[in-house]
């Protein structure tokens, strides 16, 4: 039995999914284990997404991930490090990168396969809540570039949410995906898993 564990924020949790299918994680899980819930065809999956989580929260919860003895771990977070919590901490790129490095180093040492999914669901900040500052997107892009460089250095697969995933018809309240958006993201993630041959190993 192989195990997929996904951990991160509300985009892992599946907030905004009006079909209540567990967002893209639930959809990927169903592709791995169709019609039989969390366990079938040699795969089981766990969605450890919590809305509002930052990379610091993920760091604290790594024990939950490793306790499930995963074969594949997908980490998805980052936006809340910029738009939530202490204002000064949002822009501390060195601390952000350090925490990401600690998370990925530990996972890579103990888990066969690690992947990162990150990005704002839309680059146009006008779609977000009115109290979100205009410089959030710029700050997040700097954070994102650091993680991209880190993944490249550590040879970790990164799925960067492109502007194609920011189309209004894919969004719920502008901040999260709706069912159509999660369908599209699930298909992308599953294709990456297939192309990497992680599923067939």
- Encode the chain (201 residues) as per-residue pLDDT tens digits: 899 999 999 999 999 999 999 999 999 998 887 644 455 457 899 999 999 899 999 999 999 999 999 999 999 988 788 776 545 555 577 788 899 999 999 999 999 999 999 876 555 555 555 555 566 667 777 888 889 999 999 999 998 876 556 677 888 876 788 999 999 999 999 999 999 988 877
Domain boundaries, the chain: 2-195
pTM: 0.89
Question: CB atoms < 10 A from the CB of 7, how many?
Answer: 27
The confidence score (pLDDT) of residue 172 equals 80
Whether 174 contacts 15, CB under 8 Å: no
Q: Transcribe the chain into DSSP letters.
A: -EEEEEEESHHHHTTT-TT-S-HHHHHHHHHHSTTSTTEETTEEEEEEE-TT--HHHHHHTHHHHHTT--SEEEEE--HHHHHSS-HHHHT-HHHHHHHHHHHHHHHHHH-SEEEEEE--S-S-GGGS-TTS-TTHHHHHHHHHHHHHHHHHHHT-EEEEPPGGGG-GGGEETTTEE-HHHHHHHHHHHHHHHHHTTTTT-
Partnered with residue 40 across adjacent β-strands are 43
Dihedral class, residue 162 (left if φ above 0, else alpha if ψ from -120 to 50, else beta): beta
Distance between CA atoms of residues 178 and 160, nearest Å: 18
Query: Which residues have C-beta within 8 Å of that of residue 64, sequence separation ≥ 6?
Result: 7, 48
Q: How many Cα atoms are found within 13 Å in the side-chain-facing hemisphere of 168?
A: 2
Distance between CA atoms of residues 1 and 31, nearest Å: 15
Q: Does domain 2-195 have CATH number 3.50.50.60?
A: no
Angle at 62 between CA 70 and CA 54, to 5 degrees: 125
């Amino acid at each position: 039995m192989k195990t997929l564990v996904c951990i991160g924020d509300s985009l892992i949790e599946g907030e905004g999914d009006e079909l209540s299918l567990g967002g893209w994680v639930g959809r990927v899980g169903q592709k791995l284990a169709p019609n039989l819930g969390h366990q079938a065809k040699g795969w089981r999956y766990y969605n450890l997404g919590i809305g509002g989580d930052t990379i610091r929260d993920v760091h604290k919860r790594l024990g939950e991930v490793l306790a499930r003895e995963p074969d594949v771990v997908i980490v998805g977070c980052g936006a809340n490090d910029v738009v939530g919590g202490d204002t000064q901490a949002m822009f501390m790129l060195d601390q952000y990168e350090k925490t990401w490095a600690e998370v990925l180093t530990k996972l890579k040492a103990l888990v066969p396969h690690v992947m990162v999914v990150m990005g704002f669901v839309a680059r146009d900040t006008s779609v977000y809540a009115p109290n979100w500052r205009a410089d959030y997107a710029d700050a997040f892009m700097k954070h994102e570039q650091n993680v991209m460089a880190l993944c490249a250095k550590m040879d970790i697969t990164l799925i960067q949410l492109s502007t194609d995933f920011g189309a209004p018809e894919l969004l719920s309240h502008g901040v999260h995906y709706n069912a159509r958006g999660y369908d599209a993201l699930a298909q992308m993630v599953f294709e990456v898993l297939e192309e990497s041959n992680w599923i067939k190993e």
